[in-house]
Amino acid sequence: MKPIIAVIGGSTCTPEETVVAEETGRLLAHHGAVLVCGGLGGVMEAAAKGARANGGTTVGILPGADPRAANAYIDIPLATGLGEMRNFLIVRTAHALIAIGGGVGTLSEIVLAQRIGKPVVGLHDSFRTTVDIPRVESAAEAVQWALGRAQQEVV
């Protein structure tokens, strides 16, 4: 089974977050992981763009009922019609999560991950004084961490 790694973060983001999200997507695809994200813009789009550039599979779990809301780099747009409750599905379906930047939606995903015991790592996430999760400083470290934890989840 391929590892399924979620990259979570804001639908708008800084240039630095864009760069690190795209690099994370590239590395995930390089290591054969499936990328899951919320399917919209910002960090989600950058990560999907990176994964797509390396031939990876990208899944977007969308809040609305229209798959065409997905960004251009999503192979499999899952239009749930669930609104923000789709955040829960991202957390539930990923083997591990990488948080980059992010606002309150991303924070809800981190907290839900903690709630159900799903591994989540912060990579320049916005919540350093808010939630106590492992942190790393580079896309390479984040991907290594997530793949290591995913392996424990799926074995």
Residues that bind a copy of itself (CB under 8 A): 1-2, 4, 34, 57, 59, 65, 67-68, 70, 75-85, 87-89, 92-93, 95, 104-105, 107-108, 111-112, 114-116, 129-131, 154
Distance of alpha carbon 141 from alpha carbon 148, whole angstroms = 10
The residue type of 132 is: D
DSSP state of 37: E
**Minimal distance in Å, beta carbon 150 to a copy of itself?**
10
**Minimal distance in Å, beta carbon 138 to a copy of itself?**
26
Give whichever of 78 and 136 is closer to a copy of itself, judged by the CB atom.
78
Distance of alpha carbon 63 from alpha carbon 87, whole angstroms = 8
Burial of 38 (0-12, 13-18, 19+ CB in 10 A): buried
**Minimal distance in Å, beta carbon 105 to a copy of itself?**
5
Give whichever of 34 and 143 is closer to a copy of itself, judged by the CB atom.
34
Distance of alpha carbon 113 from alpha carbon 59, whole angstroms = 18
Give whichever of 19 and 131 is closer to a copy of itself, judged by the CB atom.
131
Phi/psi at 74 (5° precision): -95, 120
**Minimal distance in Å, beta carbon 38 to a copy of itself?**
12
Give whichever of 54 and 80 is closer to a copy of itself, judged by the CB atom.
80
